[in-house]
């Protein structure tokens, strides 16, 4: 190990600065945000660059990155800085002027860090990873990297099937990152302190053998002549056959972020966020997040109260979002909502509760949280238009529930209701989707009756369903984009054709093409990596952005990259799998029992519903025994007390010049 | 059902505070909207008892004077706030400054006495650094520009390309000698009268390009050094907060 390698890298800001007047929204590249941290390079021995592979405005509010940024920076000798995808205008200038991918905190070159951790909320960030690697001077192929390059670690929900990017990453971490990043940090620290024995391969082997980290290169994938996977096996002794996800217990012990970074640039969420619980056992069969984050772990009511108050104080935001996969399901949500509403009564603080179910109880909550403010819009996600399809997806809500809930909302002064649906669900017919139009008409008819007003509105928002790994629908065929678009057109026409109600119903939809690429990347295997690289080489960037996304580019890339394989895009997307097929992610353990997933898939086809295990007996999904975890829920029976900090600040500013 | 009314009582401001702030270093790339959001967050963090506008989405009462463009630094930006209790301006300055990231700095806060702040801001002094341009090379375009009565330039605005005169508003334009060592960098000293449409430093630079082909090899570094009332006889720009300071100010009570 040479001492030179440890010399602090020069900030690239001097070279970046002259480029900034030439690009859009330059503020996103300068850092210096409130609560951001720049630690001394030389006093740290493990250094992480954390990337959210999308634009700054999308990435900066991401809770995963914010949590890990703090957890790492709080540790002595550990440093973490953030980096985001640069837009094509700056990318071109950086290439022209030889400016590498940089962190926004210290403007240090990403290539100088020990680790590059990338959080993938969605597979559509894969091309942005390649741009960052390329700009950082890191070879795409993990096998071509040496000791001077960072270890590239993938995390986030997409890391539950990292096979399409297996060639580009050195490692993947599944599940909650709080403890896992510290485990990885310690392994890197020890290896460096020992003088990096055995080089990069030895470090990767240490990571793999720890059982905490998946290192793709230590697994060989063989294929059958028809293109299906024959088997996936470890190729070195001591490397585990399966790698499990990480699960943090006791959320109250992890009250992060404590000091959320507050961007100057406008981001997609101009609010602070407090995670009120993690995991979901509603069992919606399409929902990957609900399946891979089990079991449910609640933050206590008092823990929530402290985090909300702290977030308001340290950020200055006016709004706090209470995050979870199904917010109204917190065991003490009623007391949480009332307690917070009481605390902030008479102030301009607003609280929001995204991800609520279709349930009249949620109207009470929403009313409580909007005591001071405006009742503009409420959002519900029935997901499926017909009673039948909702049984298929296990979204347990009847039409009566829905109409009653929406009527209550209009009756309480809410003017606008937004309804989320999916198109292309397993077994779906045209009629299942056309039922959405009937449902929306019924919503408006009831709403007008209950509120006595004609200015109420309902917006139907619908997108194509993409089957995801580790869900009961992992075996199902995805609907092709032509059929998706045809069904969406039928629905649009049905809504518009209605003279009485059509004008009160808004219709928003996402066309089917991006879903096919997402489907390819979600359920792809290692061969899809070549497609990603070809798409990137043909200019693929920011695939989650309609103005940048090129379906034709992706299809051409797939034709080229898969020309010598017995598989194609349809094979990955619109093909139904059977139970015996080895899935690309079978060696990655989300805790869910594969037999249970298959049973649930069969139940789905039989339109049999499964209840929530928080209130009904365990249905043996396998997670708790497999991972040694358990559901952690209240009630704690505690209450929120009023806080006085808000008024204390004002008193300190008072003009006391006449007091004497 | 009747339209819901907010429960909040609308209370009029009892005091107005005038704030001078600076936009420095890398945070000069913040747009005015970015600054506005950051300032409103700083007000909340500091617990400043703000007067709010009426209506369903009340906003704190903040009046911003014409802001420096995105990318331009400034030592002299101004705004005014209305508050619900008499406050100590020095404490407010410190609390607001602490609530903003370094680079957005609250420099001065005074209690408004009389008059309109906006009316006192009739001119700006700008410093324009032109990296790669020697002071000698800048002399000719500047002399040429000053010799004209009118130089029409174009700028893209929200409503399309607009053509206007960049010369009439310029009170003073001179080339300062750059530092002896280091790469060449002409420094322009510009005093410009506020008018509609506003003549900004980049308009003057495009005018210099137009009259004598001044070409920049690197982006200019622009800093607003002062804003205030223009003395037409001397060309001096006075401190716009001076009239709010002095013997009768808050300091008298201490």
Span A176-219, pLDDT tens digits: 999 999 999 999 999 999 999 999 999 999 999 999 999 999 99
Could you count the other beta carbons within 10 Å of the beta carbon of residue A231?
13
Q: Which residue has the higher pLDDT, A359 or A44?
A: A44
pLDDT of residue A374: 65
| pLDDT tens, residue by residue, A16-44 | 999 999 999 999 999 999 999 999 999 99
pLDDT value of position A583? 98
The residue extents of the domains of chain B are: 15-119, 122-237
The pLDDT score that the predictor gives to residue A6 is 63
* Inter-chain residue contact A655 with B70, CB threshold 8 Å: no
Question: Which residues share a beta bridge with B16?
Answer: B82
| Rounded average pLDDT over A235-252 | 97
Contact (CB<8Å) A374/B57? yes
In angstroms, the separation between the Cα of residue B232 and the nearest Cα of chain A is: 34
Query: Both A280 and A218 in a single domain?
Result: no
Strand (E) or helix (H) holding A181: helix A178-193
B85–A650 CB contact, under 8 Å: yes
Same domain membership, residue A220 and residue A289: no
Q: Is the pLDDT of residue A595 over 70?
A: yes
- Residue of B12 and B111 predicted with greater confidence: B111
- Same domain? A144 vs A51: yes
Q: Is the pLDDT of residue A123 over 50?
A: yes
SS3 A108: coil
CATH 3.30.70 correct for B122-237: yes
The percent of residues above 90 in pLDDT, for chain A, comes to: 82
pLDDT at B121 over 80: yes
Q: Are residues A199 and A110 in the same domain?
A: yes
B183: left (phi > 0), else alpha (psi -120 to 50), else beta? beta
Which stretch of A353-362, A464-473, A635-644 has the lowest confidence by average pLDDT?
Answer: A353-362
> Mind listing the pLDDT tens digit for each residue in A429-450?
999 999 999 999 999 999 999 9
Q: Is the pLDDT of residue A356 over 80?
A: no
Q: What is the pLDDT of residue A650?
A: 60
Name which of A13, A262, A658 is nearest B41 (Cβ-Cβ): A262
Task: Give the CA angle between residues A381, A414, A464 to the nearest 5°.
Answer: 20
Choose the closest CB to A372 out of B7, B26, B48: B7
Q: Residue B54's pLDDT is what?
A: 78
C-beta separation of A285 from A393 below 8 A: yes
Architecture in CATH for domain B15-119: 2-Layer Sandwich (3.30)
Question: Is B92 in a helix, a strand, or coil?
Answer: helix
d(CA A283, CA A615): 13
> What Rg value do the Cα atoms of chain A yield, rounded?
25
Q: What is the CATH number of the domain that holds A341?
A: 3.30.750.210
A207 plus A290 within the same structural domain: no
Separation of alpha carbons A562 and A651, rounded Å:
69
Let me know whether A189 and A302 are in one domain.
no
Chain mean pLDDT for chain A: 93
Say if residue A151 is in the same domain as residue A91. Answer: yes
8 Å CB contact between A71 and A102: no
Quote the pTM value: 0.94
Torsion of CA B190, B192, B197, B202, to 10 degrees: 0
Q: Mutate which of B11, B23, B28, B37 to disrupt the A interface (most A C-beta within 10 Å)? A: B37
Flag whether A219 is in a domain.
yes
Please state, in angstroms and rounded to a whole number, the distance separating the CA atoms of residues A84 and A82. Answer: 7
Q: How many CA atoms lie within 13 A of B140 on its CB side?
A: 11
pLDDT tens digits, A315-346 = 999 999 999 998 888 999 999 999 999 999 88
Give the pLDDT of residue A498: 87
End position of a domain, from candidates A160, A189, A224:
A224
Residues from chain A contacting residue B103 (CB–CB below 8 Å) = 32
Chain B residue nearest residue A658, CA to CA: B253
Give residue A354's domain range. 271-373+593-660
Q: How confident is the model at residue A660 (pLDDT cuts 50, 70, 90)?
A: very low
Quick check: B214 pLDDT over 70? yes
Q: What is the mean pLDDT of residues B3-7?
A: 46
- ipTM score for this prediction: 0.91
In a domain, A656, yes or no: yes
**Confidence label for B247 from pLDDT (cuts 50, 70 and 90):** low
**Using CB atoms, which residue from B47, B100, B250 is nearest to A655?**
B250
Summary count for chain A: helices (H), strands (E): 22, 18
Which residue in the set A13, A374, A653 is minimally distant from B92, CB to CB? A653
Angle at A544 between CA A386 and CA A125, to 5 degrees: 120
Average pLDDT over residues A268-282: 94
Partners of residue B50 in chain A, C-beta under 8 Å = none
The whole-number pLDDT of residue A320 equals 94
Task: Tally the domains of chain A.
Answer: 2
Check pLDDT > 90 for residue B18: yes
Task: Among A197, A224, A251, identify where a domain stops.
Answer: A224
Yes or no, beta carbons of B7 and A646 under 8 Å apart:
no
**A493 at interface of B, judged by CB pairs closer than 8 A:** no
The DSSP symbol for B175 reads E
Ramachandran assignment for A637, one of left (phi > 0), alpha (psi -120 to 50 degrees), beta (any other): left
* B64 phi/psi in degrees, rounded to 5: -100, 135
In the structure, what pLDDT confidence band is assigned to residue B180 with cuts at 50, 70 and 90?
low
Range in A374-383, A552-561, B17-26 with the lowest mean pLDDT: A374-383
Q: Backbone phi, then psi, for A506, in 5-degree steps?
A: -90, 150
- Token pair for B163: 């053509």
Work out the minimum CA distance from A316 to partner chain B, whole angstroms: 4
Q: Quick check: A315 and B41 in contact, CB under 8 A?
A: yes
How high is the pLDDT of residue A357?
73
Residue A649 has pLDDT above 60, yes or no: no
Task: Mark whether A209 and A149 lie in a shared domain.
Answer: yes
- Hey, are the CB atoms on A348 and B31 less than 8 Å from each other? no
How far is A251 from A299, CA to CA, in rounded Å? 5
Give the pLDDT band of residue A658 (cuts 50, 70, 90).
Answer: low
pLDDT recorded at residue B8: 54
Does the pLDDT of residue B1 top 50, yes or no? no
| B8/A375 CB distance under 8 A | no
């Amino acid at each position: 190990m040479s001492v030179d390698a440890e010399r602090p890298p020069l900030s690239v800001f001097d070279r970046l600065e002259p480029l900034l007047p030439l690009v859009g929204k330059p503020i996103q590249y300068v850092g210096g945000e409130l609560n951001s941290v720049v630690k001394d390079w030389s006093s740290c021995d493990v250094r992480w660059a954390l990337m959210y592979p999308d634009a700054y405005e999308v990435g900066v509010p991401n809770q995963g990155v914010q949590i890990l940024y703090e957890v790492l920076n709080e540790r002595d000798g550990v440093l973490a800085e953030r980096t985001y995808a640069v837009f094509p205008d700056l990318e071109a200038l950086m290439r022209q002027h030889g400016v590498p991918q940089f962190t926004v905190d210290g403007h240090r070159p990403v290539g100088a860090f020990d680790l590059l951790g990338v959080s993938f909320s969605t597979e559509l960030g894969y091309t942005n990873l390649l741009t960052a690697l390329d700009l950082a001077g890191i070879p795409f192929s993990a096998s071509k990297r040496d000791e001077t390059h960072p270890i590239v670690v993938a995390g986030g929900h997409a890391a539950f099937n990292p096979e399409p990017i297996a060639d580009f990453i050195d490692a993947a971490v599944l599940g909650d990152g709080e403890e896992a990043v510290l485990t990885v940090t310690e392994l890197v620290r020890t290896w460096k302190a020992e003088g990096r024995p055995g080089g990069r391969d030895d470090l990767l082997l240490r990571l793999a053998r720890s059982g905490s980290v998946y290192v793709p290169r230590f697994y060989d994938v063989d294929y059958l002549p028809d293109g299906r996977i024959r088997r996936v096996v470890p190729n070195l002794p001591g490397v585990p056959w399966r790698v499990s996800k990480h699960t943090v217990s006791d959320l109250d012990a992890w009250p992060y972020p404590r000091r959320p970074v507050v961007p100057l640039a406008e981001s997609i969420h101009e609010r602070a966020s407090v995670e009120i619980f993690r995991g979901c056992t509603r069992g919606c069969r399409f929902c990957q997040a609900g399946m891979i984050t089990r079991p449910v772990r609640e933050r206590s009511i008092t823990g929530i109260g402290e985090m909300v108050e702290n977030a308001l104080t340290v950020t200055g935001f006016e709004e706090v979002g209470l995050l979870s996969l199904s917010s109204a399901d917190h065991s003490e949500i009623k007391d949480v909502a009332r307690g917070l509403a009481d605390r902030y009564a008479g102030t301009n603080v607003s609280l929001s509760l995204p991800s609520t179910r279709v349930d009249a109880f949620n109207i009470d909550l929403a009313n409580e949280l909007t005591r001071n403010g405006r009742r503009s819009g409420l959002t519900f996600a029935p997901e499926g238009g017909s009673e039948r399809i909702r049984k298929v997806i296990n979204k347990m809500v009847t039409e009566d529930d829905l109409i009653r809930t929406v009527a209550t909302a209009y009756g309480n002064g809410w003017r606008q209701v937004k309804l989320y649906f999916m198109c292309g669900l397993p077994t779906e017919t045209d009629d299942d989707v056309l039922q959405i139009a009937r449902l929306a008409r019924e919503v408006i008819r009831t709403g007008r009756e209950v509120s006595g007003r004609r200015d109420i509105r309902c917006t139907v928002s619908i997108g194509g369903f993409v089957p995801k790994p580790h869900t009961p629908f992992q075996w199902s065929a995805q609907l092709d984009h032509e059929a998706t678009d045809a069904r969406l057109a039928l629905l649009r026409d049905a809504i518009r054709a209605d003279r009485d109600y059509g004008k009160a119903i808004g219709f928003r939809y996402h066309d089917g093409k991006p879903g096919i690429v997402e489907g390819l990347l979600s359920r792809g295997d290692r061969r899809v990596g070549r497609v990603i690289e070809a798409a990137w080489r043909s200019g693929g960037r920011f695939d989650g952005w309609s103005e940048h996304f090129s379906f034709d580019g992706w299809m051409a890339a797939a034709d080229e990259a898969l020309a010598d394989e017995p598989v194609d895009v349809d094979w990955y997307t619109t093909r139904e799998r059977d139970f015996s097929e080895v899935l690309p992610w079978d060696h990655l353990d989300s805790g869910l029992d594969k037999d249970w997933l298959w049973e649930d898939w069969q139940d789905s086809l039989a339109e049999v519903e499964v209840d929530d295990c928080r209130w009904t007996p365990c249905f043996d999904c396998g997670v708790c025994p497999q991972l040694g975890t358990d559901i952690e829920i209240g009630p704690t029976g505690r209450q929120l007390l009023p806080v006085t900090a808000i008024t204390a600040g004002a008193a300190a500013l008072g003009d006391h010049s006449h007091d004497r | 059902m009747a339209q819901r009314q907010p429960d909040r009582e609308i209370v009029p401001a009892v005091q107005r505070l005038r704030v001078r702030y600076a936009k420095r270093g890398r945070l000069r790339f913040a747009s005015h909207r970015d600054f506005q959001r950051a300032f409103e967050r700083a007000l909340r963090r500091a617990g400043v008892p703000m007067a709010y506008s009426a209506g369903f989405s009340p906003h704190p009462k903040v009046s911003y004077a014409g802001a420096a463009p995105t990318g331009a630094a400034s030592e002299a930006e101004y705004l005014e706030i209305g508050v619900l209790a008499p406050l100590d301006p020095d404490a407010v300055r410190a609390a607001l400054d602490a609530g903003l990231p370094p680079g957005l700095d609250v420099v001065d806060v005074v209690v408004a006495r009389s008059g309109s702040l906006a009316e006192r801001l009739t001119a700006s002094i700008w410093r324009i650094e032109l990296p790669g341009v020697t002071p000698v090379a800048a002399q000719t375009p500047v002399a040429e520009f000053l010799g004209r009565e009118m130089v029409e330039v174009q700028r893209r605005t929200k409503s399309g390309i607009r053509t206007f005169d960049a010369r009439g508003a310029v009170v003073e334009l001179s080339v300062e000698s750059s530092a002896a060592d280091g790469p060449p960098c002409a420094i322009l000293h510009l005093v410009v009268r506020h008018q509609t449409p506003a003549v900004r430093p980049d308009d003057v630079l495009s005018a210099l390009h137009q009259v004598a082909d001044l070409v920049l090899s690197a982006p200019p570094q622009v800093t607003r050094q002062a804003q205030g009332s223009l003395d037409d006889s001397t060309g001096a720009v006075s401190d716009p907060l001076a009239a709010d300071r002095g013997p009768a100010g808050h300091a008298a009570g201490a």
